[in-house]
Each structure stands twice: as C-alpha cells, then as structure tokens.
Amino acid sequence: MMPYIVGFATLCAIGAAFGTVVAKAAQRFGSRTIAACWLIASFALGSVWAFQAVRLQRALGRGPERASAPGLYALFIVTALVVLSAPAFGVWRRHRGATPMLTYPHMLAASAGWTIVGFVLATLIAALLDIAGVNFLPIH
C-alpha cells in the first residue's frame, strides 16, 4: 500500500511543479507556451515511466518477447498526456481569465488538485477501455 501512496504523492508533486513552471512561462512568453510545455513534459514523463518499466521487466528476466517496448512507450506517453492535460487546462484557464496571478503556494495546490483530476480521468479512460474489451496493454 505504501508504494502506491508514495507514487501518487510523487505524481501530485510533479503536477504541482509542472503547473507552477508552466504558469510562470505563460505569464512571461504567452499562452502558446502552455501547449508546448504540456507536450514536452508529457513526452519526457511518459518516456521516463516507460524506461523504468522496461528496465524492471528486463531485471526480472522478462525480455522484449513478452512486452512491446514501443507499445509501452506509447502507452505511458499517452497516459502522461492525459494526466498533465488537467493542470495545463487549469493554467490556461487562469491565464486567459482576468484573474490575478496566484501566489506560489496556491499555484502549487491548484496544480496538484488538477493533477488528481487528470489521474482520475486517465483511470476512467483505462477502465472504460477495459470494460469495452479493448486490448490497450502492449503485453502478449
């Protein structure tokens, strides 16, 4: 149970840092920066997740014949895109509105909250795909 809590807290911390950095970048460079940062951060985060999963599989003695490494990369990158889309949307909404910029603690909390929303959205998508019988896991 503890690794799941630590993983969830780490995901919230990553989302909070992402939202804070993107908000400051959008404030300085404009709203187009939000989409660019979202794509770059999602690709990087998904690649790190997939690299760790492939490394763990190989350490356990399961070679590439059991799981598709490109499929794992695609799965994790798309998952990161969905999870980080919520904090990116929150930043975009604040940036486009006439509301004043939030303080750092409020920005961190709001981005962590939006990350939880993104995590729930990704989980719901995975559950719906599973219920529909779609084989979305790249494991043979």
CA distances from 100 to 17, 26, 106, 109 (A): 19, 13, 12, 16
Q: What is the mean pLDDT of residues 76-83?
A: 93
pLDDT in the model for residue 103 = 86
The two three-digit tokens of residue 112, written as one number = 């962590």
Convert 43-97 into a string of H (helix), E (strand) and C (coil): HHHHHHHHHHHHHHHHHCCCCCCCECHHHHHHHHHHHHHHHHHHHHHHHHHHHHC
- At residue 108's C-alpha, the angle toward residues 46 and 4, to 5°, is 50
CA nearest to 26, candidates 89, 74, 79:
89
CA nearest to 22, candidates 7, 6, 8, 42:
42
pLDDT in the model for residue 31 = 86
pLDDT in the model for residue 66 = 65
Identify the residue with better confidence: 138 or 80: 80
pLDDT in the model for residue 8 = 92
Q: Is 67 a residue whose pLDDT tops 90? A: no
pLDDT in the model for residue 64 = 60
pLDDT in the model for residue 3 = 83
pTM of structure: 0.86
Q: Quick one: 12 exposed, middle or buried, by C-beta within 10 A (0-12, 13-18, 19+)?
A: buried
Give the model confidence (pLDDT) of 14-55 as tens digits.
999 999 999 999 989 988 999 999 999 999 999 998 888 888
Number of neighbouring beta carbons within 10 Å of residue 113 = 17
Give the model confidence (pLDDT) of 97-140 as tens digits.
766 677 888 999 999 999 999 999 999 998 998 888 887 776 65
Compute the Cα dihedral for 41, 20, 9, 115 and give only its sign.
Answer: negative
